[in-house]
Amino acid sequence: MSLCDLLRNALLRVGFVSPAAALYWGRSTLPVLLTLLFLAVPKVCQGRSSEEEIARNLYRAAKGYYRTGNYAEALAGFQKAYKLSGRHVLLYNVALCQGRLGRAKKAIKTFLRYLKRFPREQREVMGQIAKQRARIRSTFLVVTGGVLGAKIFVNTRPVGTLPLKGRLPVPCETPLNLLVVSKGMRFEKRLTVMAGETAVVSVTMIKSHKEKRVRLILLQKKATHAPKKRKRRALLPKVLWGVGVTLLVGGSATGFYALNRVAKAKEANDDGLPHRQGAFEDKARQFGYITDGALALSVGALALGTLLYYLEDN
């Protein structure tokens, strides 16, 4: 069976041609192809015309939204119309809506796409791009309220302290993390500032969820400083102990010297030298007094140092 027979049978089954017309064609393929072309072209034209009509209606609706200031709906309408029709002239309307919505970066990209298709309109398009770039440079953040001296961070970058003088330039169409920190308090907010806008944030400080950690750090600092103070207080008992030991050694030395004088006085008595005996006894008596005083002060210093040590330990 030839290709012509297959096409003729298919047209007979769906009812597009009558049996008499099929017999009239014979085995010629030209009538079959002409019939298929006649049936297909209206369908294609009808589908394309319907898409263009939908795109035209979307364009009219988006134009009305743009005039009333509903730029979000206007942008959606222009984008759908451009997708259906493929008309690049609609890119200009899309870029205008993006600029009105503060999406300056996307608007510049869309304007450049439009300029590639319509280079003769460079002057007007470049003027619109300059306006969008000026809007990008006019994006600011104002921080009010809070605690005096609180530190301000934007995306972990320090930008100053409260009160913040003037407006703070920030990147547009970029998620920002604003953090204000003071002693045991904090304020955090995430926001996105569109091009040409000035966002005003009123800061209300609250106790930080890290307050317990801060207290722990303070306690650790006190604990690290405590041994130093304890060492300073423990210095007095050690001084007293040193004085007591020194007096003990000195008293022992003078005691041995007094005993030596006593032995000398005894020898002078045995030799029948009473004047020398009296001199040695006087020396022994003097050094004995010194020994007694040194030993008494030594015992007192050692006892006082030990008492202070145990008192500070408790």
pLDDT of residue 223: 55
pLDDT of residue 61: 94
Backbone angles phi, psi at 225, to 5 degrees: -80, -25
Q: Pick from 199, 69, 159: which is nearest to 189 by CA? A: 199
Q: Pick from 187, 203, 185, 189: which is nearest to 146 by CA? A: 203
pLDDT of residue 38: 45
Q: CA distances (Å), 287 to each of 188, 254, 278, in order?
A: 81, 6, 14
- The mean pLDDT values, 10 residues at a time, for the chain of 314 residues are 56 49 47 44 52 90 94 95 92 95 94 94 94 94 87 91 87 91 87 92 74 52 52 72 87 84 82 79 84 86 83 66
Q: Which two tokens stand for residue 88?
A: 């690049």
